[in-house]
């Protein structure tokens, strides 16, 4: 199920839906278009998870003061019909009661007065001044230097991450520029093995 608790967002899929919706708004997509894109993106959910879409999207929208009437109606229907509660019944009476309480709270939020729409801003974007081929040094506790060469820059939604490769150097002083240019990267250790030798 991907849920670790009874709260609406104590669920992997619900968190993904909320995150996707918010990112679309951050990127300047209109409320209606963001809702449509999220609904389209999660049409693949199976019967056991399809209700999570409506609960999570409605909760995310209400939290931002942007609750769409049709999304609200679908979420309220899910709550009123008890859709998905059979999975919580299997977890025991205490978990079922906690889930019902979370759903009742959400229903009250969805059907009560709505807050004013929140402004959703783009997140801060990290910009690096490093470039492929640059070398950075880090002083180790043993007073030796670890050198890293920027292999590439990995653009991501919230910035650009430099991907570093450690160079084969472990002395207390920096190498000459000639020697530095010839330094090779240490071999990539790859995934760690769980096997014992």
DSSP H helices, the chain, are 12-26, 31-41, 50-63, 69-81, 85-91, 93-111, 177-182
| 99 and 34 belong to one structural domain | yes
Question: Cβ distance 190 to 164 under 8 Å?
Answer: no
Question: Last residue of some domain: 78, 111, 144?
Answer: 111
| 88 and 32 belong to one structural domain | yes
**pLDDT in tens for each of the 197 residues of the chain?**
467 888 999 999 999 999 999 999 998 999 999 999 999 999 999 888 999 999 999 999 999 999 999 999 999 999 999 999 998 988 899 999 999 999 999 999 999 999 999 988 877 777 888 999 999 999 999 999 999 999 999 888 777 889 999 999 989 999 998 998 888 888 876 665 554 44
| 144 and 106 belong to one structural domain | no
- How many domains in the chain? 2
| 16 and 107 belong to one structural domain | yes
Question: Last residue of some domain: 111, 144, 167?
Answer: 111
Residue at token pair 């506790």: 141
Structural domain of residue 161, as residue ranges? Answer: 135-182
Question: Last residue of some domain: 111, 144, 162?
Answer: 111
| CB within 8 Å of 178: residues ≥ 6 apart | none
Residue 63 lies in a domain: yes
Residue 56 lies in a domain: yes
Residue 117 lies in a domain: no
List, as one string, the DSSP characters of 88-146.
HHHH-HHHHHHHHHHHHHHHHHHHSPPPPPPP-PPPP-B-----TT-EEEEE-TTSPEE
């Amino acid at each position: 199920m991907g849920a670790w608790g009874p709260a609406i967002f104590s669920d992997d899929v619900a968190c993904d839906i909320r995150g996707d919706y918010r990112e679309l708004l951050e990127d300047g997509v209109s409320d209606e278009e963001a809702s449509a894109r999220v609904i389209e993106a999660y049409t693949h959910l199976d019967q056991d998870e399809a209700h999570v879409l409506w609960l999570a999207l409605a909760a995310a929208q209400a939290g931002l003061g942007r609750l769409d009437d049709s999304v609200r109606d679908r979420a309220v229907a899910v709550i009123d019909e008890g859709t998905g509660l059979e999975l919580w019944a299997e977890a025991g009476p205490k978990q079922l009661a906690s889930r019902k309480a979370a759903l009742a709270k959400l229903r009250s939020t969805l059907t009560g007065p709505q807050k004013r729409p929140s402004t959703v801003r783009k997140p801060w974007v990290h910009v690096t001044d490093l470039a492929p081929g640059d070398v950075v040094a880090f002083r180790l506790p043993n007073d030796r230097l670890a050198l890293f060469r920027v292999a590439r820059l990995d653009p991501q939604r919230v910035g650009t991450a430099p991907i570093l490769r450690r160079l084969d150097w472990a002395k207390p002083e920096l190498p000459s520029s000639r020697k530095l240019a010839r330094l090779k990267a240490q071999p990539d250790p790859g995934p760690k093995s769980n096997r014992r030798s």
